[in-house]
A = this chain, B = another copy of it.
């Protein structure tokens, strides 16, 4: 992805910082969401590794610089700026909340301290990556919870917003607890377990449904999942029993999944195919799955597409990336905006989570140099210094274990699909005082 995959104002602003000789001033930006989308009582952080890979790769190619010079907006920008772009690298420091961690509004999940131009340029990409993967992970946590222990497979590539999004969705869904994905590249790149069945086109491409089933099973043996709703689901199940096919599973993709799963289970059991499992798919979401589970549908696993890959009921997070401190060490200035409904908290921050008897009870946001609550654990950790990652990327399996543990620590009332409680997040005294002080200075300067 070209470094020009960004908003124009990032480039004009860094030109402006350069001309004003402010491009090297240390600056800290924090990435957080202002509020929860509807139907979410908590969010799951995801996308950090993609964000760090982006920061490590940031550079301008010669043809990109040449193109930029020709743009009308840059007419008055001198050659020295374009020379600077040729050497541009991200050299900053990053703190972050690890992927898979539940988080809440006004809690920074990423904090970037770097020369102003570098920290500024990264905004668009950091937001796009972290907003999206966190959206999917947050939705996945709800769907996995609704499935109550039955595996959930991510099948949403065809409805994702392009193939890069499909890759991010598979990754984020796995971090938040999905058992696998149909998206092959996620298996190759991130070791996400792969899961696949067959399409209706397979069934239609042979002279009969049974012929299609037999051909598939011959080749894929233990990996065979037969899609049985192309013509008549119940008839297809009977046909499988009569033919003696031993599929790993059958997939239901349409119709009344509760009634069909019961009919198909009975037919398979009576036919001696108790080991053949039932996979259900077809526009599923957490509410539909919870209903099926509550009704005792004999469904062994769920395939979920659109709801996961687009986080369909909340396709965007209100994630923002805001300047909170600027200036040379020893001479820094904390800043905040006052915009109606969009005011921000100033200063660089830390987030502390307090757990009692294994349950998270409260988060406190403090200034980064303040002491946290006595029994609190700090969530933001250093992950990059001088533009280089401090640790090897954790495996997705490790992130998934972490997410499972931390989600389990949330109060039960927060994991409810509907009418969930609101988790307590407060600002420390130091943070509130700093905000009040800046407000006062602003008032007195008018």
Interface residues of A (CB under 8 A from B): 1-2, 4-13, 15-17, 19-20, 22, 25, 27, 29, 64, 67, 71-73, 75-77, 116, 120, 123-125, 127-129, 131-132, 155, 157-169, 182-185, 187-188, 194-206, 215-216, 219-221, 223, 229-232, 235, 253-256, 282, 306, 310-312, 315-317, 319, 321-323, 326, 335-342, 442, 446
Q: Nearest 7 CB-CB pairs, A to B?
A: A8-B196, A164-B164, A315-B315, A127-B158, A161-B161, A255-B340, A161-B165
Using Cβ atoms and an 8 Å threshold, which residues of chain B touch A182?
7-9
B127 touches A76 (CB 8 A): no
A219 touches B310 (CB 8 A): no
Q: Bound complex: CA of A76 vs CA of B217, how far in Å?
A: 11
Contact of A158 among B7, B161, B219, B339 (CB under 8 A): B7
Using Cβ atoms and an 8 Å threshold, which residues of chain B touch A64?
188
B183 touches A7 (CB 8 A): yes
Q: Bound complex: CA of A195 vs CA of B339, how far in Å?
A: 23
Copies in the complex: 2
Q: Bound complex: CA of A253 vs CA of B254, how far in Å?
A: 45
Known: A123-B199, A196-B12, A254-B342. A159 touches B185 (CB 8 A): no
For A2, A13, A120, which residue has the most chain B Cβ atoms within 10 angstroms?
Answer: A13
Known: A7-B157, A158-B131. A215 touches B16 (CB 8 A): yes
B316 touches A306 (CB 8 A): yes
Q: Bound complex: CA of A157 vs CA of B131, how far in Å?
A: 11
A11 touches B184 (CB 8 A): yes
User: 24 pairs across A/B with beta carbons < 8 Å?
Assistant: A5-B183, A7-B155, A9-B182, A9-B202, A13-B198, A13-B199, A16-B220, A17-B205, A29-B201, A120-B199, A123-B199, A124-B158, A128-B159, A131-B158, A131-B159, A161-B162, A161-B165, A161-B310, A164-B165, A231-B339, A254-B340, A254-B342, A282-B342, A310-B316
Contact of A231 among B75, B123, B125, B338 (CB under 8 A): B338
What distance in Å separates the Cβ of A69 from its nearest Cβ neighbour in chain B? 12
Known: A200-B323, A315-B310, A316-B312. A188 touches B4 (CB 8 A): yes
16 additional A-B residue pairs with CB within 8 Å, beyond A120-B199, A132-B160, A162-B164: A4-B185, A5-B184, A6-B184, A7-B196, A8-B182, A11-B196, A12-B196, A12-B223, A16-B202, A17-B205, A71-B187, A73-B223, A128-B158, A128-B160, A129-B163, A254-B340
Contact of A335 among B13, B125, B204 (CB under 8 A): B204
Q: Bound complex: CA of A116 vs CA of B184, how far in Å?
A: 20
B162 touches A129 (CB 8 A): yes
Using Cβ atoms and an 8 Å threshold, which residues of chain B touch A184?
4-8, 11
B71 touches A166 (CB 8 A): no
What distance in Å separates the Cβ of A197 from its nearest Cβ neighbour in chain B? 6
What distance in Å separates the Cβ of A172 from its nearest Cβ neighbour in chain B? 11
A6 touches B183 (CB 8 A): yes
Q: Bound complex: CA of A179 vs CA of B438, how far in Å?
A: 39
Using Cβ atoms and an 8 Å threshold, which residues of chain B touch A168?
161-162
Known: A164-B165, A168-B161, A185-B2. A255 touches B339 (CB 8 A): yes
